[in-house]
Structure 1
Amino acid sequence: MLTHMKSTATTALEAPEADHHAALHGDFRWQVPPVFNIAQACGERWARETPERIAILAEDADGPIDGPDGALSCAALWRQAGALAASLRDRGVAPGDRVAIVMPQRPETAVAHLAICAIGAVAMPLSMLFGPEALAYRLADSGARLAIADDSAWSALVQARAEAPQLATLVAVGEVPGPVDAQWSELLAHRHPIETAMATAADDAAVLIYTSGTTGPPKGALIPHRALIGNLTGFVCSQNACPQPSDVFWSPADWAWTGGLMDALLPCLYLGVPIVGLRARFTPERAFELMQRHRVTNTFLFPTALKAMMKAVPRPREVYDLRLRAVMSAGEAVGDAVFQWCDEALGVRVNEMFGQTEINYIVGNCGAFQGRDGRLHPGWPARPGSMGRAYPGHRVAVIDDDGHECPRGTPGDVALHRLDVHGQPDPVFFLGYWKREDATRAKFTGDPSDSWCRTGDTAVMDADGYLWYQGRSDDVFKAAGYRIGPSEVENCLVRHPAVANAAVVPRPDPERGAVVKAYVVVAPGHVADDALVAALQAHVKGKLAPYEYPKEIEFIDALPMTTTGKVQRRVLRLREEERAKGRALT
């Protein structure tokens, strides 16, 4: 099937609703070598096997970038990575050292990741949207000794440096405002680039990614080289048997986050699929134009992006020549409204996916897989509104507070077992939280060698193994004694044509404990008034249980979001709590 994954599943071509989930799990075995390096697997080997093939296509706000910087071949990617690796080593970067990367989707970001991994150091991607305080916290906590950045984050990085005294060197990519310690172009001019990546153990650390902090202060999740292998079954399945001839991938997901790095950039480089890097702000129109221009076949789009595209261009195939054959979505529940639009308007059944930085790409849907006969076969049918099922190689369950599996249909915490269904170690697991052994221990339930890793997300598993998301464990709340999962109400609201996006939180109430409140972003062309409030309440009442409709609706220009595209309900919940305290004092 693929290097480091082995499946003997093969079938005749069946109808699209055929279900091979059980067969794929039963026949699948992980192939994890003791020595494995991401740089060798994603860069070095392709430079030797297919040197002229394009690895990365680059665009900015004006469109495709001209010249070699706009279309980086496998050979050029590895040549630059080898030169940077040698320069970093000369500057004292040693195995295990943390190196920060603060750049958008651009070829240099990929080069930096491969170079850092190649010498056994640990890449620490940081969002270019971070301000000085956010950067300073992560730089100081990680002990990073070198940072690479472009003009998108340079000023904030220079300010943050004062709070991170161990940060010895700032490397500038291109023109930046202010003084620099080293220029990217100078480092790439090294006369003796390394030719072979270090023979790291598969368990060695490769990446340090700080969580988005939706439920508390950010924690650094230490990711080993082998975790990329653990991501592959989910990527291949959710992208409908990627790679296929002529596949081209693009996603607006920032390469500084798990969604962009582990769900897009590194799997594409590993599988030899050209990936488009866009250095510009996402807009629905720009997304469609890019996918048309590059004949994009595979993509990962957050639900928030899909909602914006659905509202802005309801019938995209009447406007754009699209070649999409696979759409994966994650980060929030997709909901049946977006699911139906993808099916009808894009002509592609969206494959919802679920995972998190610590244990990524573990649950989702699969439109197709490739059998030993070389033909594509249906994976398992997606069910609108469901997160999907466990991907091959992952043993997933819904567990209670004591770590016992919940009866089917009973809400609980989505969890992943350290061992797969065959009793073999699952390679997708993170190594632990950086300098937070207490938090690492709290993440697991059971004996260390036979334990469940909790996600903190609440869901129900049905009789067929499909998971139905209810929200973050701390997002689910009770109103008048009823358990409310915000995603169901939010999805219902978004189905109304006047709603661009919505978030549901509890509003404290002295009599009922809490009532359902919705924050709503109004779609263009609609008026936020009392009439719309009544219409939306009636809309939800007619589709959900009576206790689920929002007793209060507040219109808002934009929902608070993490840089990974997730709604920060915690911010809205805290706002409601502060307001309740104010009302109690009057």
Structure 2
Amino acid sequence: MLASLAELWFDRARTHPDDPAVDDGRGWLTWAELLPRARAVGAALAEAGVGPGDVVVLQARNTVEWVLVAAGVHLLGATLAPLGAEEPVASRQEYAARVGARVVVAEVPVAGELDLGLACPPHPVPTGREIDLESADPRGVRSPGPAVVLATSGTAGHRSTVPMDHDVLVRLYGDVAVMLDVGRGDRLLGVVPLAHSFGFNGLLVLALLTGASLRLVPERDPRALPGLVRESGATIVAGPPALLHDLAGAVLGGDGLGPQVRLFMTGATEVRPDALLPLADRAGIPRVSSGYGLTQTCGTVAICPDIGRLADAGHAPMTVVPGVEVVVVDALGSPVPPGARGRVLTRGYQVAVPTDADGWLVTGDEGHLHPDGTLCITGRVDDQLVVSGFNVDPVRVEQALARSPYVAQVAVVGVPDPRRGHRLVAVAVPAEGVDADGRNDAAVLAQARAVLAGYEVPDTVVWMDALPHTTTGKLSRATVRRMLAEHLGDHDQED
């Protein structure tokens, strides 16, 4: 049993040397071609001071170079700490300090960082035959730390970092591959960012484990996606429900995906088969799978391999992966009977950041268990929002908006959106002396955009005279949502 991702990079070059491994629109690298390129990247990182156990921050779009840096880091026995390409420089620097990065590799570097192009210099690609794969021993690669550290908003309400060990990822996504029937002949379309748990684990690690090939998409253009699906020969398209909306819309406009796509693989807080299955049918995709997990659980807790065949009462019943436990509890923490809704708790080898000493992770998700042990997720019980598959911490967004001189107080809430899950609305109280003419929505959002990722920036600012608070002085988000609904309702009537 292979125990590390470093071993997997070697093993794929040995077992599937001539199979396509990864492509970003500029041509394929086979598994045998990828390995020497990754070793060259590892040498460049070592020259920059990276050794076993060190952390390397990587910020770039989904490209072949991204994968080469990831492989180079693993071959050194170091830890990868990727960050979404949309994050501003200030966030990258703060994140690098938090994880204790030895080196930062960036597509657009600043002083003191390593340029992605220099880490992956263009040169003739070796055939792979020059490397003696039989004598090379990947077990000699020491990996004293985790394979990857991923950033997450987290159910605790603040951005945190989650370390994921090599053996955990190998075991977990080996089981996921079996449950979803992913194999060597599959082509995975990588639209979701590799810096996200869905992208790193559900695409890159899955490809490494199975030998499936990966077609990366550096720039997401909904109009171009159907053509990419057809031309890449993708058999599996992975992404949030918003991606299926985009594909179905494009197909409705006359742009087909081709006959080869057999699976749309998705995951979100709440997957509604009654909403997704008509979209899949319109797009010509015969099967939709749903996964449930958090970054704190290395991305996966349970899987429903076919929501069309197994969906019940409007939700997808998911099978908990082997070695993992799930309970549903009431507000006092007591287990509820099958069918009753409550807060979801999970425990297992893949829980990287447990909440208590017994290893349980208290999630912010609401759900229920069927008598057969399958799990349905029905929504959120905390304030965290999900936008296009990304967790958004409203407190973090509020802190960014509150820096504006126009804003005295602000609350961020989510309005249901059929494509993205939620769209963000900032409900703001103007600063003293700012009249109606001086409430500069564009300036408020521009200032927030400088410190937030794109998906964290609200679509709209709604100005109100005051925000509601509880008797203990805490912001009442439930009341804010009701006020916003009334405001939007009145606005719609006026229109």
The normalised TM-score by structure 2 is 0.72
Distance 1:347 1:256, change over 3 A: closer
Spell out the pairing of 1:241-280 with structure 2 (5 A cutoff): 241-243=181-183, 246-280=185-219
Instruction: Name which of 43, 49, 58 aligns with 1:86.
Output: 43
Cα distance in 1 for residues equivalent to 2:132 and 2:60: 23
CA deviation profile, 1:88-124 (whole Å, cap 9, x unmatched): 2233212221101111111111111111111211101
Instruction: Name which of 271, 280, 289 aligns with 1:351.
Output: 289
Report the secondary structure of 2:252's partner residue.
Answer: coil
| Counterpart residue number, 2:355 | 444
Spell out the pairing of 1:88-167 with structure 2 (5 A cutoff): 88-150=45-107, 154=108, 157-158=109-110
The answer on 1:50 being equivalent to 2:16 is yes
| Counterpart residue number, 2:166 | 225
Instruction: Tell me by how many angstroms 1:289 deviates.
Output: 0.9
| Counterpart residue number, 2:431 | none
Contact persistence 1:398–1:415 (CA under 8 A): yes
| Counterpart residue number, 2:113 | 170
Report the secondary structure of 1:208's partner residue.
Answer: strand
CA deviation profile, 1:152-192 (whole Å, cap 9, x unmatched): xx1xx42xx6xxxxxxx522133xxxxxxx55329999999
Instruction: Name which of 371, 386, 396 aligns with 2:326.
Output: 396
Report the secondary structure of 2:49's partner residue.
Answer: coil
| Counterpart residue number, 1:329 | 266
| Counterpart residue number, 2:440 | none
CA deviation profile, 1:339-361 (whole Å, cap 9, x unmatched): 33214542423111111112122
Instruction: Name which of 229, 243, 265 aligns with 1:305.
Output: 243
CA deviation profile, 1:234-260 (whole Å, cap 9, x unmatched): 532563x1105x321113100111111
Instruction: Tell me by how many angstroms 1:364 deviates.
Output: 1.9
Structure 1 gap segments, 5+ residues each: 5-32, 60-64, 162-168, 175-181, 369-377, 419-425, 433-442, 477-485, 491-502, 506-516, 524-557
Instruction: Tell me by how many angstroms 1:400 deviates.
Output: 4.1
Instruction: Tell me by how many angstroms 1:280 deviates.
Output: 1.4
Aligned residues: 412
The answer on 1:429 being equivalent to 2:387 is no
**Match of 1:205, as an amino acid?**
P
Contact persistence 1:86–1:192 (CA under 8 A): no
RMSD of the alignment, in Å? 4.1
The percentage of counterpart residues that share the same residue type is: 21
| Counterpart residue number, 2:404 | none
Instruction: Tell me by how many angstroms 1:229 deviates.
Output: 1.9
Instruction: Tell me by how many angstroms 1:275 deviates.
Output: 0.6
Distance 1:409 1:263, change over 3 A: same
Spell out the pairing of 1:355-504 with structure 2 (5 A cutoff): 355-359=293-297, 360-367=299-306, 381-383=310-312, 384-386=314-316, 388-400=318-330, 403-418=333-348, 426=349, 428-430=350-352, 432=353, 443-447=354-358, 451-475=359-383
Cα distance in 1 for residues equivalent to 2:316 and 2:452: 24
| Counterpart residue number, 1:494 | none
Report the secondary structure of 2:147's partner residue.
Answer: strand
Instruction: Tell me by how many angstroms 1:468 deviates.
Output: 2.9
**Match of 1:468, as an amino acid?**
C
| Counterpart residue number, 2:151 | 210
Cα distance in 2 for residues equivalent to 1:44 and 1:106: 20
Contact persistence 2:189–2:238 (CA under 8 A): yes
Structure 2 gap segments, 5+ residues each: 395-412, 420-444, 470-479, 484-495
| Counterpart residue number, 2:31 | 74
**Match of 2:22, as an amino acid?**
I
Cα distance in 1 for residues equivalent to 2:302 and 2:264: 15
Distance 1:206 1:292, change over 3 A: same
Report the secondary structure of 1:108's partner residue.
Answer: helix
Cα distance in 2 for residues equivalent to 1:465 and 1:345: 32
Instruction: Tell me by how many angstroms 1:44 deviates.
Output: 0.8
Contact persistence 2:343–2:363 (CA under 8 A): yes
Cα distance in 2 for residues equivalent to 1:304 and 1:578: 34
| Counterpart residue number, 1:185 | 121
Cα distance in 1 for residues equivalent to 2:204 and 2:465: 40
Cα distance in 1 for residues equivalent to 2:355 and 2:414: 33
Instruction: Tell me by how many angstroms 1:294 deviates.
Output: 1.5
**Match of 2:378, as an amino acid?**
Q
Contact persistence 2:52–2:143 (CA under 8 A): no
Structure with larger RCO (C-alpha < 8 A, sep 6+): 1
Cα distance in 2 for residues equivalent to 1:464 and 1:573: 46
**Match of 2:18, as an amino acid?**
E
